[in-house]
């Protein structure tokens, strides 16, 4: 399949410094927000509008989560080697379209083109890294006294929400979704409203790579609408978010009595959710080790979390092989 056959193609006009209209990507299909609302994303260099972005609401979030939930069991039991193959195909497509992705990233985020090219060049490495680990993550049998059997079983969390900051939007998104997809989780991505274009373009490559419908979804919108609705659903099990510049305050829109807990990050304007497993919000120099449930509690990334700790204030991205 070529990009020309994808139902929606986000086209870049480098001379005019604009793109075509963006679209939500839900259940393998591109389309507008249910309410038809949009908002502009601007070129930080000139202040001019680059494109119109769909403004999703709670209905769109529900559609995306329902699509991811519907296919979650099928994706969990898809052979790990097959999942790895899809990630490697996606890595090849990113390499093939690296120049276009870098130009969109530079236009939308304000990076120098050379910097954006370096960021995009790291993405295939992350996809290849987690493709290599997809069939190598497992539990272990533990010796215990007596006639007993003790073992750990690592399982995908299911539907995972990924709320991406604005500073390295495409690379940070891939650092988060690659382990989730490799280890059998389905994904709903909410990019920062200031830098949504690269996620929309990346969705085209996911579709071309052949991922099943509903495994990867993109919901765009201006904060706090999608996040506020997201915090009220307990279908999604885990989510990365930027680290706040000051201690997070409790959310006013939701008062849960049991886990998961919800807090508000004013820097990234994103919800940070935690499930049974606590995760660090300090940027990691290497990918998290796994993306599956575990009974172990830890303050650092362990098998049991589908997300990778990220920071809205990180000064440079990291490479899985760096």
Residue 9: inside a domain, yes or no? no
CATH code assigned at 42? 3.40.605.10
Residue 280: inside a domain, yes or no? yes
Residue 39: inside a domain, yes or no? yes
Number of structural domains the chain divides into: 1
Domain range for 122 is 15-243+262-306
Prediction pTM value: 0.71
**H helical segments located in 77-112:** 80-96, 98-109
Residue 6: inside a domain, yes or no? no
Residue 214: inside a domain, yes or no? yes
Residue 110: inside a domain, yes or no? yes
**DSSP track, 113-136:** HHHHHHHHHHHHHHHHHHHHHTTS
Please answer whether residues 300 and 286 qualify as being in contact, where contact means their C-beta atoms are separated by less than 8 angstroms: no
Neighbouring residues of 211: CB distance < 8 A, sequence distance ≥ 6? 86, 90, 181
How many CB atoms neighbour CB 7 within 10 A?
11
pLDDT tens digits in sequence order for the chain, 322 residues long: 334 334 566 777 766 667 777 899 999 999 999 999 999 999 888 888 999 999 999 999 999 999 999 999 999 999 999 999 999 999 999 999 999 999 999 999 989 999 999 999 999 999 999 999 999 988 888 999 999 999 998 889 999 999 999 889 999 999 999 999 999 999 999 999 999 999 999 999 999 999 999 999 999 997 555 555 555 555 555 555 444 334 334 333 333 333 333 222 323 333 333 333 233 333 444 444 344 443 333 333 333 334 333 334 444 555 665 4
φ, ψ of residue 36 in degrees (nearest 5): 80, 5
Residue 286: inside a domain, yes or no? yes
What is d(CA 316, CA 313) in angstroms, rounded to the nearest whole number?
9
Residue 72: inside a domain, yes or no? yes
Neighbouring residues of 289: CB distance < 8 A, sequence distance ≥ 6? 301, 302, 303
DSSP summary character for residue 51:
E
């Amino acid at each position: 399949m070529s990009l020309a056959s994808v139902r929606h193609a986000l086209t870049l006009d480098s001379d005019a410094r604009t793109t075509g209209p963006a679209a939500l990507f839900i259940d393998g299909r591109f389309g507008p927000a249910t309410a038809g609302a949009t908002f502009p994303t601007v070129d930080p260099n000139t202040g001019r509008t680059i494109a119109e972005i769909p403004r999703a609401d709670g209905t769109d979030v529900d559609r995306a989560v329902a699509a991811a939930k519907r296919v979650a069991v099928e994706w969990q039991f898809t052979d790990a080697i097959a999942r790895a193959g899809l990630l490697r195909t996606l890595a090849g497509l990113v390499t093939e379209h690296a120049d276009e992705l870098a130009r969109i990233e530079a236009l939308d985020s304000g990076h120098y083109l050379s910097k954006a090219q370096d960021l995009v060049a790291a993405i295939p490495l992350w996809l290849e890294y987690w493709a290599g680990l997809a069939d190598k993550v497992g539990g272990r049998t533990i010796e215990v006294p007596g006639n007993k059997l003790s073992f750990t079983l690592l399982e995908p969390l299911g539907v995972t929400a990924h709320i991406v900051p604005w500073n390295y939007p495409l690379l940070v998104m891939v650092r988060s979704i690659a382990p989730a997809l490799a280890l059998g989780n389905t994904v709903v991505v909410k990019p920062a409203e200031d830098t949504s274009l690269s996620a929309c373009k990346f969705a085209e490559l996911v579709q071309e790579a052949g991922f099943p419908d509903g495994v990867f979804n993109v919901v765009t919108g201006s904060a706090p609408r999608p996040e506020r609705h997201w915090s009220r659903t307990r279908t999604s099990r885990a989510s990365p978010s930027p680290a706040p510049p000051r201690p997070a305050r409790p959310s006013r829109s939701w008062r849960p009595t049991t886990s998961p807990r919800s807090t508000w990050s004013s820097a990234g304007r994103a919800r940070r959710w935690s499930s049974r497993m606590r995760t660090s919000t300090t940027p990691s120099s290497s990918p998290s080790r796994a993306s599956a449930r575990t009974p172990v509690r830890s303050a650092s990334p362990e098998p049991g979390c589908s997300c990778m700790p990220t920071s809205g204030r990180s000064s440079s991205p990291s490479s899985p092989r760096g």
